[in-house]
Amino acid sequence: MPFETLIAEYEKRRAKALGMGGPEKLAKRKKAGVLNARERVERLFDRGTFLESGLFGASGVYPDEADETLTDGKIAGYGKIGGRDVAAVVNDFTVKGASTSATNSKKVAHMKRTATERGIPLVIIGESTGARLPDAMGSRGMGQLLGNDPTQFRRMRETPLATAVLGPSFGSSAWLACLADFAVMHKGATMAVSSPRLIEMALNEKVNFEELGGWRLHAETTGLVDQVVDKEEEVFEAIRRFLSYMPGHNQEAPPDASVPEGSGAEMAAVFGVLPESRTQVYDMKRIIRAVVDRDTFFELKPRFGKSAVTALARLGGKSVGVVANNPLHRGGALDADACRKITDFLVLCDSFNVPIVLLVDTPGFQIGTEAEKSGAPGKIMNFMNAMTLLTVPRLSVIIRKSYGRAYVCMGGGRHSDDVAAWPTAEVSFMSPDFATRIVHGVKPGDPAFQEKLAEIEQESDVWGLASVFAAQAVIKPEETRDYLIRMLEVYRLRMTRGVGQHLMRCWPTSY
């Protein structure tokens, strides 16, 4: 056979495979304003860097369906993001709803194995229906298709895993998003165990996609997604940005970046964010934004457990994870969701060698019947335990209140490498008002109340903490940024070139 014929055959097959589920389905997507899988590949990677693995894969169960299973519904390969290697799987919904099959399972496993063994991040762009039918039907189908790769859902956090939830994300798209270090969801997408259609058949429950697994549910109630975006293009920007704070693998430090001009410019006014009255609240994010390098604040789970803020950012060009209380919500009292969010974040940062900065203003853990019903003590202990297992540098700054067990969880005592406090810091076992009532048996209105309250308030000020060396420094608010940059340098992990011990690398990705 002349070589020309072989090349012609190759070109024909290649063009067909690149055509995904065919012109009709692609036209429908285009009309609906939804990107197709190959357009998503282009947006994910640096221009022209994609190298495909498995273009000619197709159903191995039904070879006569090769034309309907081009690339078998999952586009896999390697590319660069910000100049660094990344492996990816992008689901192609136009081919059998990107359902999980024998061949594409091998492709996904291959990407995961390569990423894990060679130390590069893995990205999964989800949109899928679940296991392919009828392939997985019956005991023979199940035995052939499912459960044959025991590493499929094993997370050891060797390398970062970032995922996107697009369109209907059932089956693998949902499972992998929930296992990921970062999950971004497009508004209008659905992530759920099963579809409304099956739910109606099985339970006679009528539910729509949005209520079952829409963005609000996952951003506000389950906390299973880290960010939500309005436009599909923003999904890829979010993943690229997340990875910019991460190392390629857990045996190296995160990459440095240049410090944007204007960083620190707002520090002179940062003290003004604090209200003069201790009963009033403020938005801690204003302080974080002023302290970190300009425009590097990248918040995770902003609508979940809002009395805490967890954000990746940079200080002096180096990646940091910021854990802060936000008095704007619940006065900064940490509820079960906030504890869960912080624990997730500590595990992420410690697993990928990102130092932690804690900014403290909390009246303590949320009390009350709702808190107890949500299992608060268990969530608090997960948080506490995580603080004891951190091996990356961590610094804490007490901005205002730090009370009770939350004082310890937020880095008090030896739970930080170094504790600094603003002159506004107040630290005690409980709020002065309640302490006065309990310790002295007096209540507001009683003759001795004001005098006893003043005594207790004075005992809670910053100087007591500094005098017993439980705060290593008392700093002026405007010095906070420079202080943190300098201290991160002091506490750098020199012996291991910035690499921690990753003692929580096997912790769950949600609780």
Partner 1 sequence: MHSARIDAASYHYADAGNNFRRHRIPLMARIEIKSEITGTVWKVHSKPGDKVESGDTLAVIESMKMEIPVITEDAGTVREILVKEKDAVAEGQVVAVLDG
The residues of the shown chain that bind partner 1, judged by CB under 8 A, are: 21, 25, 28-29, 31-32, 34, 93-97, 129, 167-168, 188-190, 195, 197, 208-211, 214, 216, 220-221, 279-281, 303, 306-307, 327-331, 333, 363, 366, 368, 370, 431, 433
Q: How far is CA 398 from the centre of its chain?
A: 25
Kindly tell me which of 116 and 431 has the beta carbon lying closer to partner 1.
431
Distance CA 133, CA 121 (A): 31
Q: State yes or no: cis peptide before 134, omega within 30 of 0.
A: yes
Task: Write b or e for each residue in 131-160: b if 16 or more Cβ atoms lie within 10 A of its Cβ, otherwise e.
Answer: bbeebbeeeebeeebeeeeeebeebebbbb
Kindly tell me which of 314 and 330 has the beta carbon lying closer to partner 1.
330
Contact 129, 166 (CB under 8 A): no
Distance CA 129, CA 190 (A): 11
- C-beta of 64: minimal distance to partner 1 in Å? 17
- Other C-beta atoms closer than 10 Å to the C-beta of 360 total 29
Largest CA distance in the chain: 106
Helix (H, G, I), strand (E, B) or coil at 225: coil
Give me the phi and psi of 299, to 5 degrees please: -80, 140
- C-beta of 167: minimal distance to partner 1 in Å? 6
Kindly tell me which of 113 and 303 has the beta carbon lying closer to partner 1.
303
- C-beta of 398: minimal distance to partner 1 in Å? 18
Contact 425, 399 (CB under 8 A): yes
Kindly tell me which of 62 and 463 has the beta carbon lying closer to partner 1.
62
Kindly tell me which of 403 and 507 has the beta carbon lying closer to partner 1.
403
Percent helix, strand, coil in the chain, to 5, is: 40, 20, 40
- C-beta of 407: minimal distance to partner 1 in Å? 16
Spatial CA neighbour of 400 closest among 366, 433, 362: 362
- C-beta of 147: minimal distance to partner 1 in Å? 23
- C-beta of 49: minimal distance to partner 1 in Å? 28
- C-beta of 210: minimal distance to partner 1 in Å? 5
* Token reading at 64: 């006569």
- C-beta of 434: minimal distance to partner 1 in Å? 8
Spatial CA neighbour of 159 closest among 511, 502, 494, 456: 502
Kindly tell me which of 78 and 365 has the beta carbon lying closer to partner 1.
365
Residues in Cβ contact with 372 at an 8 Å cutoff, skipping those fewer than 6 apart: none
- C-beta of 294: minimal distance to partner 1 in Å? 21
Kindly tell me which of 37 and 499 has the beta carbon lying closer to partner 1.
37
Kindly tell me which of 95 and 179 has the beta carbon lying closer to partner 1.
95
Residue matched to tokens 């309640």: 434
Kindly tell me which of 97 and 477 has the beta carbon lying closer to partner 1.
97
Using the 8-state DSSP alphabet, how is residue 391 labeled?
-
- C-beta of 437: minimal distance to partner 1 in Å? 11
Kindly tell me which of 52 and 433 has the beta carbon lying closer to partner 1.
433
* Token reading at 165: 């939830």
Give the torsion through C-alpha atoms of 69, 70, 76, 79, to 10 deg. -160
Kindly tell me which of 328 and 408 has the beta carbon lying closer to partner 1.
328
- Tell me the residue ranges of DSSP E strands in 213-335: 227-229, 298-300, 308-315, 318-325
- C-beta of 438: minimal distance to partner 1 in Å? 14
Spatial CA neighbour of 182 closest among 81, 65, 317, 34: 81
